[in-house]
Amino acid sequence: MSHLLEKTKESRAFYSFLGLIILVIICSLTSSDFSKIENYITIFRQASVLLVLSAGLTAVLILGGIDLSVGATAALVGCTCALLLKAGVPTWAVITIGLCMGAVIGTLNGFLVSIIRLPAFVATYATNWIVKGLAIVIMNGQIIFNLPESFTFIGTGYLFGQMPVLIVIALVVVSICYVLYQKTTIGRDIFSCGSNLEAARYSGIRVKRAQFVAFIMSSMFAGLAGLLMTARLNAAEASMGDSYGLNTVAAVVIGGTSMLGGEGGIIGTMIGSIMLMLITNIMNLLGISSFAQPMIIGLVIIVMVFFDSISRDERKTVRRGVAIPMNVQKRKDDIG
């Protein structure tokens, strides 16, 4: 029992979860509309898209890299699929094509990072330009709307009467990621590469495979998120990924995944996404101006990650049993 308690305390997601509970309590006290069940469903639905978008990104961050191209990938996949749907391609084929496109972009990122050995930051920044550029080219400034109902079902439909399909998909994605990151060899490889790339290489871990898998996951789930966005809005345009921007990274990091790699998980990302959407939701309920909203989100990100980093630092000192000088910063490579 005490072992289990220790383990929970060790888990980064645990602290994020505490933060989430505190936030929920504050929100319920400040607004009476907040505690309604419909409002919770709205929050979860909004969080679902963000969650799917950052689910694969979590793997890349655990690996110690970063993927700046997820928003653009979502936009490109969403736009392509909307065009295909308009051309009369059946829904199942469109969804398959969308996921494959994501995988192709992920393969490109993985190739650049693992074979060419570019820093992930600049490689994915460049692919971001290319992918976004392609989206602009194929859309040529237009907006596509009025998509077939069989497709919009994944964004707006309900299963079993009450359960939004969007949330079900998000839960499935979380389960897949959980099993993959925590229970498989490849997941463990990704963690080892993140905590020490050289050590992982020397101990015979297939580093390149781990890198490829992480980047492909990231882009594939970004593609899925693009499909969900398009289905939910029943419309597609080239800039639709922009609004998520770096909030994807923020969601992952708030969830306790380290930007230095080697630590984190999908449960944390789930909590992080819900948290960001919850803050947006309560600000809208309270009628805070849209100009002031980024400030509050920014401050919340800074405060959350600040406490996370401080506690991480203390734990490291204690666990090693020796006091390392506090002004020595362990900042490893591969942020970029």
Partner 1 sequence: MNKQLSIKKWKIFKLPPVIYMLLCLVIIFSIATPQYLSFQNIKNILMQSSTLMILAFGQTLVVLTQGTDLSIGAQVSMVTVAWITLARKGVPLPVGAIIVLLLTSCVGIINGLLVAKGKMPPFIATFGMQNVINSFTLLLTAGAAVTYSSNIFLIITESSLFGIKAPVFIAAGIFAVTWVILNRTKFGMGIFGLGGNPEALALAGVNTVKVTVKAYAYAGLLAGVAGLLTACRVESGQPTAGAGLEFESIAATLLGGTSMREGRGNVTNTIFGVLLLSVVRNGLNVVGITAVYQSAIIGIIMLSAIIIDSLARQSQERN
The residue length of the chain stands at: 336
In the complex, the smallest distance separating the C-beta of residue 308 from partner 1, rounded to whole angstroms, is 8
Q: Which is nearest to 61 in space by CA: 177, 172, 225?
A: 177
Which is nearer to partner 1, 126 or 171 (by Cβ)?
A: 126
Phi-psi region of 256 (alpha: psi -120 to 50; beta: other; left: phi over 0): left
Which is nearer to partner 1, 90 or 298 (by Cβ)?
A: 298
In the complex, the smallest distance separating the C-beta of residue 305 from partner 1, rounded to whole angstroms, is 5
SS3 145: strand
Q: Which is nearest to 280 in space by CA: 17, 12, 49, 56?
A: 49
Is residue 251 within 8 Å of residue 58, measured between CB atoms?
no
In the complex, the smallest distance separating the C-beta of residue 66 from partner 1, rounded to whole angstroms, is 7
Contacts of 103 (CB under 8 A, 6+ apart): 216, 219, 220, 223
Q: Which is nearest to 260 in space by CA: 329, 187, 194?
A: 194
Which is nearer to partner 1, 37 or 328 (by Cβ)?
A: 328
Q: Which is nearest to 61 in space by CA: 272, 239, 296?
A: 272
Which is nearer to partner 1, 92 or 306 (by Cβ)?
A: 306
Q: Which is nearest to 230 in space by CA: 41, 49, 45, 38?
A: 49
Which is nearer to partner 1, 185 or 284 (by Cβ)?
A: 284
Which is nearer to partner 1, 46 or 128 (by Cβ)?
A: 128
In the complex, the smallest distance separating the C-beta of residue 288 from partner 1, rounded to whole angstroms, is 10
H helix or E strand, kind and range, residue 236: strand 235-236
Which is nearer to partner 1, 25 or 292 (by Cβ)?
A: 292
Q: From the centroid of its chain, how far is CA 43?
A: 16
In the complex, the smallest distance separating the C-beta of residue 336 from partner 1, rounded to whole angstroms, is 4
In the complex, the smallest distance separating the C-beta of residue 113 from partner 1, rounded to whole angstroms, is 11
In the complex, the smallest distance separating the C-beta of residue 238 from partner 1, rounded to whole angstroms, is 10
Contact residues for partner 1, defined by CB under 8 A: 66, 68, 112, 116-119, 121-123, 125-134, 136-137, 140-141, 246, 249-250, 253, 258-260, 289, 291-299, 301-302, 305-306, 309-310, 312-313, 325, 327-331, 333-336
